[in-house]
């Protein structure tokens, strides 16, 4: 059985991508894992070391809630999904989850607006790193459609 890993931050802007990944998992009869990664190391740099654990716990709770909503979307579509919540570096978390769950396909969302946090350069670098490290398929999704970053439009 194939395993698909899809990191998501959840929320309304993620719904079309989540729906597309759920449909793909159903089509392939694949195990689907939603991933949420939080990182509060910036607090230490700002001198808020005493608040780090509290904020981390809050972000973990929020991640679990957002992934529970994603799983509910999957269930409504007739599919079951699993969740993984991690702390720290996004890239390290992705590498670890791919290895731990024998992921065959990694799906990453492309920025949908000019105010997006993720850049195309970051995505291309991430895709190359994941493909080289794990020899797996990497797909890019934007606004519910699979896209080719090298051939936009």
pLDDT tens track of the chain, all 153 residues?
A: 899 999 998 777 789 999 999 999 999 999 999 999 988 766 666 666 666 777 778 888 888 999 999 999 999 999 999 999 999 889 999 999 999 999 999 999 887 665 566 778 888 999 999 999 999 999 999 989 999 877 655
Give me the sign of the Cα torsion angle 47, 49, 54, 56. Answer: positive
- Give yes or no for a contact between 130 and 6, defined as CB atoms under 8 angstroms apart: no
Q: What is the pLDDT of residue 103?
A: 98
Domains of the chain, earliest start first: 3-147 (3.40.50.620)
DSSP per position, 50-90: GGHHHHHHHHHHHHHHHHHHHHHHHHHTT--EEEEEEES-H
- Number of C-beta neighbours around residue 83 at 10 A: 17
Instruction: Put residue 88 in one of left, alpha, beta given phi > 0 → left and psi -120 to 50 → alpha.
Output: left
Q: What is the pLDDT of residue 119?
A: 79
Q: What is the pLDDT of residue 117?
A: 65
DSSP 153: -
What CA–CA distance (Å, rounded) separates 152 from 56? 36
Q: What is the pLDDT of residue 108?
A: 93
DSSP per position, 3-30: EEEEE---SGGGHHHHHHHHHHHHHHT-
Q: What is the pLDDT of residue 133?
A: 96
């Amino acid at each position: 059985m194939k395993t698909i890993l899809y990191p998501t931050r959840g929320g309304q802007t993620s719904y079309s991508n989540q729906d597309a990944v759920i449909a793909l998992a159903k089509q392939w009869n694949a195990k689907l894992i939603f991933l949420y990664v939080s990182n509060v190391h910036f607090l230490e740099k700002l001198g808020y070391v005493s608040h780090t654990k509290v904020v981390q716990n809050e972000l973990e709770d929020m991640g679990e809630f957002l992934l529970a909503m994603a799983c509910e979307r999957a269930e409504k579509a007739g599919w079951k999904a699993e969740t993984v919540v991690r702390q720290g570096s996004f890239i390290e978390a992705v590498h670890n989850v791919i290895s731990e769950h024998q992921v065959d396909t990694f799906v990453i969302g492309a920025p949908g607006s000019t105010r997006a946090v993720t850049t195309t350069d970051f995505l291309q670098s991430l895709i190359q790193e994941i493909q080289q490290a794990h020899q797996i398929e990497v797909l890019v999704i934007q606004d519910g459609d699979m896209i080719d970053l090298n051939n936009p439009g």
